[in-house]
Structures are given as C-alpha cells and as structure tokens.
Amino acid sequence: MENLKLKDFLDYKFLSGLELSPNKNYGAFIVNSADYDENKYLSNIWIYNCITREYKKLTTMNKENNLIWLDNEVILFSSLRDEKLKKKIEDGEHWTVFYAINIHGGEAYEYMRIPMNVNQIKKIADEKFLIAATYDHYGINLHSHKGDEKSKAIDLIKENKDYEVLDEIPFWSNGEGFTNKKRNRLYLFDRGTKDIVPISNQFENVDLCSVKDGKGLYVSQNYTNKMELTNELYIYDLYSSQAKCLVEEDEYSIDYAEFVGDEIIFAASPMDKYGLNQNYNFYKITGHDVQLLSCHDFGMHNSVGSDCRFGGGTDHRVFDNCLYFVATENKSSFIKKLSLDGTIEKLTSDNGSVDCFDVCNDGIIFIGLRGTKLQEIYITEDGVETQITKFNEKIVETKNIIVPEPLEFENDGVKIEGFVLKPVNYDESKCYPGILDIHGGPKTVYGEIFYHEMQVWANEGYFVFFCNPRGSDGRGDEFADIRGKYGTIDYDDLMKFTDEVLKKYPQIDSTRIGVTGGSYGGFMTNWIIGHTDRFKCAASQRSISNWISKFGTTDIGYYFNADQISSTPWDNMEKMWFHSPLKYANQAVTPTLFIHSEEDYRCWLAEGLQMFTALKYHGVDARLCMFRGENHELSRSGKPKHRVRRLEEMTNWFEKYLK
C-alpha cells in the first residue's frame, strides 16, 4: 500500500445529482473530476440501469444543477455549447440553454433556450415548465435590445461595473457576490410560445419545491429593506394561473414542502425555543389550518463534514404516499421515512453519510460516503446495503487509509464523542506530533468518513484528532444550543478532549501539537490561541475574530450574530466583544497561519486581517494566505490549484513547527 499524498484528491471522483426516471428503471447522476492543468472541474452525466445494475457515461455538461427527466428515456440538462451565445453572455446577456439526450444513444440536441440565468426547473405539464431564475431589479436585459439601443445598454452596463449601489441587507452573499435587489424569481415558461410569465413579484426570493398535477409548491421571502428569517409557503395552480398563500410569514422558517398523497407536508421551525438553529418539525396543511404532524429533534439534512464532495443533490423524496428525508444523528446521516400518521422510521445504517438519494420499488438508491471509502452509489433493500459503483475503488485498494478510532468522555455530565487517526505505520514505541481539527458550523458534525486533509496528515506521520463539542448537530436542540456561550463550554469540551487524547495516547508529544479549523472552527482556533499556549502552532481558516465587525459586513452577520451571540452592537456591545477572539489577541503567543478567500462573504477577509494584524503587532509569528476568486467553500469546491496550495500552506506550517 502507498501513502496517501496531498495531490491524490485530484484523482477522486465526486458523485452528485442522482435522479431516477419516472418509471424508476434508470438513474442519471453526475461524475465530477478535477482538471489541475485547466484549474477547473469536469462534469459528465452517467446512466445507471436499475435492472441490470450497469452504468455508463452518457455526455458532458457544464452546469451541475438543472438536470431533470423529460420522460422515461430523455434527460434534460443545461449546458453552454454555442460559441456565439458564449460571446453574447460575455457581453452581458443572460441565457440558459437546455439540451435533451436519449439515454439509449444519439447526440444531445438543443431543446430550448431561456433568456435568463435559470437556477431551478421543474416540468409542470407538456411544454410547460416552472423555473426559478435570477431577476435583477436594477439590471438591464440586453437580449431585449436591438441596434443602437443595445449599444447604449452595453455602454451603461460597462459604466455600472465601476460601482455598486446598496439599499438593503444582505447586500451580498457567499458564492454569489453582490445580490442587492437580486432575487430568485418564479416564472412559468411555455416552450411552444416561448412566453415567460412571472408568478412571484420582483422582490420575492423563491425556492421551487415540488410539482404535482399542474400545481407547484414554493417557499418565498418577500422583502425590500431587510431579509428576515421567516418565509411563506405558496401553491401555484397552472390552470387558474393563480398563486395562493398557504402559510403566512412571521410564523415559521420553512425548509421545504412536498405533495404527499392528498396532503401537503412541510418541514419548518418556529424558532421559538432555540433560535435559528432549532431543529425542524413536520407540519401538514388541512384546509386553512397548519397542524403539527411529527416532532423531529435531530438535524435535518446531512451535516456530516467531508472535503470529498463536489456538487449536490436532492435529500428528500416522495414515494408511495410517504416522505423520505435525510437527517443527521450523532456521527452519521440517515434516510428516514415519514408516514402520513406522523411516524418516522430509520431506513439506513449507522455507517457514514447519505449525500443524495432517490426511491424505487426495490429499495433506495443513494450516493454516500460509507466507512472510510470515497463516494459511491449504493442501494439498500430490506435493510441490506449493496455497493453498486466502483469509481473510487482504486484509492481504497492502493492507498493507506487510516480508520478513525472512537474516543468518548464526559464533561459536565454530557457525553462528548471524538475520534483519533493514528499515524501511518504507527509504532507505539515512538513519539509523534498531533493536530486537533475543529469542524465548522458549529451545528455540523465530524464522523468516521473519509476526510482528505486529515488522512494526508496521518499519512505524513501525525496523530489527528477531532470531536463534536456542544454546539454540534445530531444530538438534539439542547446539545446544539450554545447561544451566548461561544468560547466557553465548547472551548472547555475541546480542551478536555485534547486532555483525554493525550491520556489515551501517550505516544503524542504534548509539546508538538497544532490546531486548525474553518469557519466556526476558525473562530475557535482564534479563540484558543488567545486563551492557552499549549499548542505549538495554529492554522486558522475562513475565521471569525470580531463579532462586532462581522455583524455589519457579512451576508449572515446581522441575524446570525444577534441570535448566536445573543446580542447586537447596540444592546450589549460588551458581550459581543467578550466573545470576540480579537479581544484576547494580545495574550496570544502561538505562531498562526491564516487562510482566507477574497470573496468569502460569510466570514469576510476583514476577520482574518484583524487577527493577523493583532498577532503581528504583538510580535507573534503569523502568515496570511489569501485566495482570489474563491469564497467560503475553498476547501471543498475551490479551484483545484487553489485547493492544493491551501493544503500545502497548512501542511508546511505544521511541518515547520511540529517536526
């Protein structure tokens, strides 16, 4: 077996976007891979035969979302293959082109083009589609202009590139740039007539959820000044051309909604007990009333962290009058089934993460990370899981992959779950350096699945240890609730965990331990270096250093900070400052590397710059590496060369101080 290398992730295959045909005989999914030389990702549509269990490549695509089945044999997907149209888009026009391809062979052909940036699409009837597309209140639609009028419009677009006008919050969004007065707006598109009819208004942000029998469900937020956390649920009727509000605003934060049998079921939280991180329950609409159908005190969706995914997929489905959904419990995510009587049944095993799935008569087919394997497609039938694909089998067969060892302990009477990766070719008679890795969120979890950066460090001769302190997902609302406590009980959990690791593994040299983490983990790394000198070095990624500045500069700051720190700069600035790592930066002596992306509007560059400046000012060795053209997702979906450079920076920093 060979040691896993830093650049080996360039050979991984990342699976996403699994969708079964209406008759459930075939599945379409996307295989993504890194192209290091071109510094981008390549995406191909593959077909899986549910009967023979064979799979094959079908065609390429360049926009990972917007893949749907037109019928049992034809797939519709968005791509950009027309060079003339590429030039128009470069000049500022907005177009989305959809191609169709038969799964049994033949070339993809242009099916329709829509003069918008389409973000979601669902077929609602023959030749009719519900689409959610970007609408810019202050924008110019170049495609509708001709001749001199178009030339003037192009000149105006060029002139407007020099500045931004802001008149609402949030005014930007991580991964999207400036979003002021831009909305994901709902339209009805008629392929035959090419008519585009707006359904939502120009200031509504919508999420298109479900379509059935000529009706569509969508969640909407309507604002012109400040986006709130609650939203509304609407139903649109194609035949009456009317949209009706089913759930008014100011009641729930609605995650998604589905037609289930004759009912409408939606997942939502009233946020009345635990704030914005409160777990979602299931509700049903009966007549004009909303009724609680089932309580679910676990995290909705898959929050098991990994740096070995690219692309997404659907994590809730309707089949045979039941709602199937993904939820996180403890260290794994599961597929569960909600029946119309409110009962919930767990259908998959405690073995990693489910990233997306679909349901058929024979079982559930899903893309997941199982054990220490990379992503593959699996099918579960009567509780038995079978691996279908072998895209990443070579990695498993040829590389040293370290299996995490669980480590549990109690702190303040609360059980904390953690894991330890031993160094490759571990020899208990030797002494090793160690790295504490802290997850983001904080409402996410670390599990036992494959995590590239940790495996690399274990293969480089480090102990790597990580845990789920209070604030993490998967253990219910009370465990996840650390509002107003950031840097207190969570910090204590992490330090006690480090103590327990050193006690169980005396082979770790306690004078050669590093710490790292991203987002919330970056906050905690900044906090740690201001409160202890036990770590020889630190690598703080996409971090938070000052809750006051973050409040007014980031895309979620004005509501996330107010909720999670339980204060604002006006009602209790002292509390915000108390929880800010920058306050304690004058006490730091730990050499620290800062990793930040220029377009990270979730934990803005200014957060890293403040902490970096503070350490330099006080004579502490510090280095900041900023990545242009990247955002908060650098470690997970950044450009291949940037992901390599990021991990090289961190690994070299640890090498410098720990070996």
Q: Looking at the domain assignment, is residue 638 inside a domain? A: yes
For residue 161, the model assigns a pLDDT of 86
Whether pLDDT at 64 is above 60: no
Whether pLDDT at 62 is above 80: no
Torsion of CA 143, 145, 151, 153, to 10 degrees: -80
Q: Looking at the domain assignment, is residue 227 inside a domain? A: no
Whether pLDDT at 163 is above 80: yes
In a shared domain, residues 411 and 430: yes
State phi, psi for 105 to the nearest 5 degrees: 140, 170
Asked if 600 contacts 631 with a C-beta cutoff of 8 angstroms, the reply is yes
For residue 147, the model assigns a pLDDT of 85
Whether pLDDT at 570 is above 80: yes
pLDDT band at 155 (very low <50, low <70, confident <90, very high): confident
pLDDT band at 71 (very low <50, low <70, confident <90, very high): very high
Residue that is written with structure tokens 């103590």 in the block: 499
Question: Helix, strand, or coil here: 251?
Answer: strand
DSSP string, 151-167: HHHHHHHHHHTT-----
Per-residue tokens: 314 = 């659907």
DSSP string, 509-538: EEEEEEEEEETHHHHHHHHHHTT----SEE
Question: Which of 153 and 264 is assigned the larger pLDDT?
Answer: 264
Query: How far are the Cα atoms of 231, 238, 275 from residue 241, in angstroms, in the given order?
Result: 22, 5, 36
Q: Looking at the domain assignment, is residue 417 inside a domain? A: yes
In a shared domain, residues 408 and 359: no
What would the pLDDT profile of 493-527 be if each residue is shown by its tens digit?
Answer: 999 999 999 999 999 999 999 999 999 999 999 99
Among 380, 399, 418, give the residue marking a domain's end: 399
In a shared domain, residues 314 and 436: no
Cα dihedral 146, 149, 153, 155 sign: positive
In a shared domain, residues 394 and 435: no
Lowest mean pLDDT among 138-147, 261-270, 381-390: 138-147
Query: How far are the Cα atoms of 268, 338, 424, 469 from residue 441, in angstroms, in the given order?
Result: 20, 27, 29, 11
Taking phi over 0 as left and psi of -120 to 50 as alpha, with beta for the rest, 352 belongs to left
Q: Looking at the domain assignment, is residue 25 inside a domain? A: yes
Domain count, the chain: 2
Whether pLDDT at 65 is above 80: no
Asked if 306 contacts 290 with a C-beta cutoff of 8 angstroms, the reply is no
Q: Looking at the domain assignment, is residue 186 inside a domain? A: no
Among 345, 371, 399, give the residue marking a domain's end: 399
Residue that is written with structure tokens 């900023």 in the block: 626
* Closest to 454 (Cα-Cα) out of 432, 421, 427, 426: 421
| Global pTM exceeds 0.85 | yes
pLDDT band at 149 (very low <50, low <70, confident <90, very high): confident
What would the pLDDT profile of 7-56 be if each residue is shown by its tens digit?
Answer: 999 999 999 999 999 999 999 999 999 999 999 999 999 999 999 999 99
* Closest to 489 (Cα-Cα) out of 567, 566, 575, 411: 411
Query: How far apart (Å, rounded) are the C-alpha atoms in residues 309 and 306?
Result: 7
In a shared domain, residues 422 and 535: yes
In a shared domain, residues 407 and 445: yes
Q: Looking at the domain assignment, is residue 384 inside a domain? A: yes
Among 399, 427, 459, give the residue marking a domain's end: 399
* Closest to 23 (Cα-Cα) out of 58, 77, 71: 71
Spatial strand order of the sheet with 182-190 comes to 118-125, 128-136, 182-190, 196-198
Taking phi over 0 as left and psi of -120 to 50 as alpha, with beta for the rest, 504 belongs to alpha
In a shared domain, residues 501 and 645: yes
In a shared domain, residues 382 and 482: no
For residue 339, give its domain range.
1-115+305-319+330-399
Q: Looking at the domain assignment, is residue 575 inside a domain? A: yes
pLDDT band at 238 (very low <50, low <70, confident <90, very high): very high
Q: What is the DSSP letter of 572?
A: -
Q: Looking at the domain assignment, is residue 343 inside a domain? A: yes
What would the pLDDT profile of 413-440 be if each residue is shown by its tens digit?
Answer: 999 999 999 999 999 999 999 999 999 9
For residue 494, the model assigns a pLDDT of 98
In a shared domain, residues 438 and 393: no
For residue 63, the model assigns a pLDDT of 61
In a shared domain, residues 572 and 502: yes
Lowest mean pLDDT among 81-95, 324-338, 542-556: 81-95
> Which CATH number characterizes residue 429's domain?
3.40.50.1820
In a shared domain, residues 338 and 376: yes
For residue 143, the model assigns a pLDDT of 80
Whether pLDDT at 650 is above 80: yes
Average pLDDT, the chain: 96
pLDDT band at 224 (very low <50, low <70, confident <90, very high): very high
In a shared domain, residues 378 and 504: no
Whether pLDDT at 159 is above 90: no
